[in-house]
Amino acid sequence: MALCLFVRVRLLQTPLERDEGEYAYAGQLMLQGIPPYALARNMKLPGTYAAYAVIMRAFGQTAGAIHLGLLLTNAAAVALLFLLGRRLFGARAGLASCAAYSVMSLGAGVAGTQAHATHFVVLPAIGGLLLLLRAVQTDRAAPLALSGVLFGLAFVAKQHGAFFGLFALLWIAWTYRRRALPKLALFGACAALPFAVTCLALWRAGVFRPFWFWTFDYSRAYISESSALVPMDDFWRPLRPILLENAGLWLLVLVGLGLAWRATESRLAAAFLTGLLLFSFAATTPGGFFRDHYFVMTLPAAALLAGAAAGGRRNAAAWLFAAALIFSFWRQHDWMFRLQPQQVSRMLYDTNPFPEAARIADYIRGRTAPGELIAILGSEPEICFYAHRHSATPYIYMYPLTEDQPYAPWMQSEMIRDIESQQPRYLVFVHVESSWLTDLNEPHPVLDWWNRYRDEHYELAGAADILPEDRTEYRWDEAARGYQFQSDDYVQVFQRR
């Protein structure tokens, strides 16, 4: 656990990726008194925005501060996991679970150095599970009610957190059987409370309509894009590196599951963790979009099972657990202990312009006054965050505009109208396909409009050419206008004529 802590501290300055940029920009706006969904809109619920706002209020508005907040969030989850593991299998298993979760949640396969929303789902979910077991054991209402509130917070952090609450409902129903109805009513009411308070706060802030549209109406359209039959490649592509980098620990997950079911005294714990593992996995699957960081939500159950194997009476399992930890560090030693933060970003995200975003933002910030608007044609909201400048349009991602969903034409028109009416002084165009999820060489209404609008109103003021071997060529002002790009992945900064 200390070694994982060292790695997190060493990599605090890893550049923000675009999801982090969204949360950071929304949290920055909240600290300015601007509610979510007013100037930045996406389909995620606002719990993680609020978590980022709290972190930045405490530690500052930098990438390092955000990753320090992640470090503390992860440490709190580890502490709660110890209490949960001790309750299920004993203190030794609890400690082993902590070690397993520390390593697995740091892994490159789940982009563990980045502060994704899944970490903010896991923390209240583990607390909710701990209180749920306490409530069942003592048959008291208070821990059951507080457990419901924590599961509600997990949902508000990200919609996928609802699966943990569903598991809790089924566990209550199975445990209490005929006496379950009042328990379910209490738990359900308390679990709904965080969402109800969120809706009320957003209604009073005057942003309930865009909140509901983006998080439910558009979210349904987004999910409907996916076929009911997901290609196996889409599933195995993110899962394979997760399994390989911690292969020994995942083997112990299976061993722990078998041992727990074999021993009569631990079968109730085995049933609990089997159900938790299944629902945790279900949380990664909505819409058939498998993202690497989604699998963070499966790690608490997996770590508890690995801990159960290590914490048993068999010394061989304990030695195997030690070997599994050593293998995990050996497998990932290069990026954990040698690569610098910007190199880790490039390793995780290839030519996505995350290291370049801060330098581009510095250029814009030095040439604009607070209150001036900028625009990003691309899905890089981290530029707005770094620059401390508001976006001229609430469309901070281009994905909704390029997806095959019914709202796309209306969204395209609205974004174009925003930019033409606000006339931002600086506009950033991101020529990286992963920032659009469409072929940038093919006709598209937004790209066609931009090509015309750019020639009439903007001139090139900066260029970031993302080259192989972790090298980026920067050109500014006059030097940018005559620069010939050497790569297909680059970022242009335009200044209004």
Give the distance from CA 61 to its chain's centroid.
18
C-alpha R_g of the chain:
24
Query: Amino acid identity, residue 199?
Result: C
**Closest among 252, 296, 307 to 106, alpha carbons compared:** 296
Our CA dihedral for 197, 200, 206, 209, rounded to 10 degrees, sits at: 100
Note the pTM of the prediction, 2 decimals: 0.96
Task: List Cβ<8 Å contacts ≥24 apart for 341-347.
Answer: 341/11, 341/12, 341/13, 341/14, 341/15, 342/14, 342/15, 342/470, 343/470, 344/11, 344/14, 344/113, 345/14, 345/15, 345/17, 346/470, 347/108
> What is the rounded CA–CA span in Å between residue 324 and residue 320?
6
What does the pLDDT read at residue 316? Answer: 83
> What is the rounded CA–CA span in Å between residue 60 and residue 386?
12
CA distances from 142 to 147, 149, 196, 470 (A): 8, 11, 20, 54
Task: List Cβ<8 Å contacts ≥24 apart for 448-451.
Answer: 449/416, 450/377
Q: Indicate the SS3 state at residue 405.
A: coil
Tokens of 183: 């328990």
What does the pLDDT read at residue 203? Answer: 98
For 471, phi and psi rounded to 5 degrees? Answer: -125, 135
- The secondary structure of 375-404 as a DSSP string is EEESS-THHHHHHT--BSSSB--SHHHHSS
Nearby residues of 469 by Cβ (< 8 Å), 6 or more positions away: none
What does the pLDDT read at residue 235? Answer: 78
Q: Where are the domains of the chain?
A: 2-337, 350-496
> What is the rounded CA–CA span in Å between residue 121 and residue 155?
7
What does the pLDDT read at residue 226? Answer: 57
> What is the rounded CA–CA span in Å between residue 491 and residue 475?
11
Nearby residues of 413 by Cβ (< 8 Å), 6 or more positions away: none
Q: Would you tell me how many other CB atoms lie within 10 Å of the CB of residue 405?
A: 18
> What is the rounded CA–CA span in Å between residue 165 and residue 390?
36
Q: Would you tell me how many other CB atoms lie within 10 Å of the CB of residue 350?
A: 11
CA distances from 315 to 205, 258, 311 (A): 58, 16, 9
Q: For the chain, how are helix, strand and coil distributed in percent, rounded to 5?
A: 70, 5, 25
Q: Spell out, as residue ranges, where the chain has pLDDT lower than 50.
A: 228
What does the pLDDT read at residue 231? Answer: 65
What does the pLDDT read at residue 289? Answer: 76
Q: Are 355 and 472 in contact (CB under 8 A)?
A: yes
Q: Are 130 and 87 in contact (CB under 8 A)?
A: yes
- The secondary structure of 291-318 as a DSSP string is -GGGGGGGHHHHHHHHHHHHTSS-HHHH
What does the pLDDT read at residue 285? Answer: 86
Furthest C-alpha separation in the chain: 77
